[in-house]
Copies of this chain bind each other. A is one copy, B any other.
C-alpha cells in the first residue's frame, strides 16, 4: 500500500463531498505492519467502527440488548495511498442503497483534513433477529437514520 495508485476514479466515492458523516479515528501502534503502514486488515475495523457508531448514535441501536442487530454479509476495500500510525484520520460514511433488510454503506478513510480518500470501500449490513437468526425488515429508527445518509 506504499505506492500512490493512478486509478480511474470517476463514479467512485473518493472525495470528501461524497460522504455525509465523519468519525475521527485514532491510529494505534500495532496498526502498522512490518512494511511500516497500516495493515490492509485494519481498515475494515475503521469501517465497522464508523457504521456502528452511526447506528448507535443516530439509530439508537443498543448493541448489548437490541433484538435486531446488523450482521456484515459483504465488505470490500480499495487502497489508494498509505496511512501509518501516528497519522490522524477520519472515516467518512454514506449510504448507497437501502433494501428491506439490508443496507450498503460507502466508507472512505481520509487523512485528517485531506480531500481525497486514502482507501474506500463498502460494507453491507443485513439486519437480523438476534434470537431467531433470520433476516428482518430494518427497524424504523435505524431506517430513518440511514435515509439521512443516502447519496442518490
Contact = CB atoms under 8 A, between A and B. Distances in A.
B64 A72 contact: no
A40 B78 contact: no
Contacts of A57: 86
Interface residues of A, number: 53
Contacts of A2: 71, 128, 130, 133
**Which residue, A1, A39, A47, A126, has most C-beta atoms of chain B within 10 A?**
A39
Contacts of A64: 34, 36
A69 B35 CA distance: 9
A116 interface: no
Interface in A42-82: 42, 44-49, 52-53, 56-57, 63-64, 69, 71-79
Interface string A1-43: 1110100000000000000000111111110111110011110
Nearest to A123: B40
Contacts of A63: 32, 34, 36
Given A35-B71, A74-B77, A86-B56, A29 B49 contact: yes
A100 to B, nearest CB: 14
B73 A76 contact: no
Nearest to A47: B41
B134 A1 contact: no
A29 B5 contact: no
Contacts of A24: 26
Contacts of A78: 73-74
